[in-house]
Structure 1
């Protein structure tokens, strides 16, 4: 099998050099020929270079005929800032030929952009710029490589069916799967890059977001009409999305200690404001509000996202969500690299 040339750019946050190099080595050991854009070594504020640096690097590799696959170095923050610049570059230089874009998290914005505006294929999958890339399970790594090479991963999402919030749908649901990171998705609402969800299945995952912030984003989407016409919502991992509880004074101070207790309470005078909410139970309940209010089926248990499960997930493919919870890929617009 000929070596597949992969181009790597960093559209979002600054890249950690050592971890990135370890990730590159793992990709090369799998038989890929890796080309790293010099922009990946840059830094500006919290980004891997200025907006212009990152957009130019991404577009240059998008136009480069050597690559059929672009793999983002890491996520973080910053990809949404590039979209107007990519609009300008596309207008000036034309639409790049079809490639496969690999990434997730903050790269959600670019996956939506390249799929809708350039006709690209997109694979929601781990990126080499973070330490966890080198700790993928053997089955996760094998499946990721199979998708990139144009094959079909065997039993890609495990043997467990998805679970529904409330009653399952009466019949199977078919539709294109879109989505990605909930926070990034929400940040695109009200912009020209807001994804269209009518007739589609939406996938969400996230990391390090408090439960109340997740609830806020859910209500923003419901109230804004951003979920109107969606066929179903599927939940992946919501890693480290904890219930944050403020500490308050629970021991009433004596009059002489009141000023001190308000300004600098002692640890023994403090306690939680309320009972802790179980995160594992609360995520389905929070998204269950979508089912209750909009009548859109909500399923959970897909092992994709920041962890613990990190399977690769083809976005833009046609899927069937069966009433028994089985989730099946019916077709995807990627058959492998051309070179």
Structure 2
């Protein structure tokens, strides 16, 4: 078993950098991506498109081989600073076996037009996380990985990257730009430029005051559930797990939660963040609990905080998250503050 390397950080984009949009799952046409292109240009970034944009193979943006090759080509291209997945749906799993992120990370090269990727972060996060390895990011042997951006079905890619010790960005897709909030867009820009992201919630659950630090993992609940038994789920011990879901039956939410719990995936966490549980379904005879009640009941045995209503997932206010990177959670009697 390969020990995941610890010397990787997200590459901070700079104005003028190029973001490539491509498909690893369902298809997307260039005409659907004009608003995303305009948005990236508005924050100072250039845009180009992978070979899979415009391709259609049944539901998918090309064959599995074409999608895998397009992703690897973008990863290896020194002109591409970040990869933004066009849309989710289903299909990422078809290319997963062909992506060896340990090998790909070791072979990654600097961008052709610059060699210094370190972006000065705000004083508050540098100070608060100094004792937990942020200073190590400035060492000469630190490697900077181009951000892979997306969510939902892209949870497969995120999880395999985190298993290899690599960070990535959980964020909205290009086709969703027009429907995301200003706060979500601001967090997206900050994630790409590797600036501090801060989210504040009211402590409506009356959680005990405490400070928590840990690496953030997770994504879509169905995808995490589907990865049980594979080698691609990272070790969650000592970390913070985020989950979200859309368009699922309540009984299946409970089934997935039970399965993850029985597999030990909720043991040893520092915190569990529950994002959007959007458009849940029930049968004519009611299940008897909503999604939040199901999660609350199945995590009641643990002594870490389970924080509901975190603004990420299939929501208009889908805040960007730096997966595989440290998150700090500060809980006081009134508020909960999340910092990355």
TM-score, shorter chain, exceeding 0.5: yes
Runs of 4+ in 1 over 6 A off after TM superposition: none
Q: 2:31 aligns with which of 18, 30, 48?
A: 18
* CA shift for structure 1 position 26: 2.5
* Matched residues, number: 290
Q: Does 1:189 align with 2:228?
A: yes
Q: 2:179 aligns with which of 135, 149, 166?
A: 135
Partner of 1:307: 315
Q: Does 1:218 align with 2:257?
A: yes
Kindly tell me: are residues 197 and 64 of structure 1, through their superposed partners in 2, closer, same or farther at Cα, counting changes over 3 Å?
same
Residue 39 of structure 1: SS of its match in structure 2?
A: coil
Partner of 2:6: none
Q: 1:63 aligns with which of 64, 76, 83?
A: 76
Check whether the contact 1:189–1:226 (CA below 8 A) recurs between aligned residues.
no
* CA shift for structure 1 position 179: 0.5
Partner of 2:167: 121
* CA shift for structure 1 position 234: 0.5
Q: 1:327 aligns with which of 312, 337, 340?
A: 337
Check whether the contact 1:163–1:301 (CA below 8 A) recurs between aligned residues.
no
* CA shift for structure 1 position 71: 1.0
Check whether the contact 2:160–2:233 (CA below 8 A) recurs between aligned residues.
no
Structure 2 counterparts to residues 236-247 of structure 1, below 5 A: 236-242=275-281, 244-246=282-284
Partner of 2:326: 318
Check whether the contact 2:181–2:316 (CA below 8 A) recurs between aligned residues.
no
Check whether the contact 1:290–1:296 (CA below 8 A) recurs between aligned residues.
no
Q: Does 1:112 align with 2:159?
A: yes
Partner of 2:299: 291
Q: CA RMSD in A?
A: 2.5
* CA shift for structure 1 position 312: 1.3
Partner of 1:161: 202
Check whether the contact 1:136–1:310 (CA below 8 A) recurs between aligned residues.
yes
Kindly tell me: are residues 43 and 320 of structure 1, through their superposed partners in 2, closer, same or farther at Cα, counting changes over 3 Å?
same
Q: 1:47 aligns with which of 56, 60, 65?
A: 60
Alpha-carbon distance between aligned partners in 2 of 1:200 and 1:91, rounded to the nearest angstrom = 24
Structure 2 counterparts to residues 83-122 of structure 1, below 5 A: 83-87=96-100, 95-97=107-109, 98-117=145-164, 119-122=165-168
Relative to total residues, which structure has the larger helix share, 1 or 2?
Answer: 1
Structure whose alpha-carbon radius of gyration is higher: 1
Alpha-carbon distance between aligned partners in 1 of 2:325 and 2:252, rounded to the nearest angstrom = 29
* Structure 1 gaps, min length 5: 247-272, 331-339
* CA shift for structure 1 position 44: 2.1
* CA shift for structure 1 position 169: 4.6
Alpha-carbon distance between aligned partners in 2 of 1:23 and 1:54, rounded to the nearest angstrom = 20
Alpha-carbon distance between aligned partners in 1 of 2:278 and 2:316, rounded to the nearest angstrom = 7
Give the TM-score taking structure 1 as reference length: 0.77
* CA shift for structure 1 position 152: 2.3
Check whether the contact 1:317–1:329 (CA below 8 A) recurs between aligned residues.
no
Between 30-39 and 286-295, the greater mean CA deviation after superposition: 286-295
Alpha-carbon distance between aligned partners in 2 of 1:7 and 1:162, rounded to the nearest angstrom = 39
Alpha-carbon distance between aligned partners in 1 of 2:102 and 2:239, rounded to the nearest angstrom = 26
* CA shift for structure 1 position 93: 10
* CA shift for structure 1 position 121: 3.1
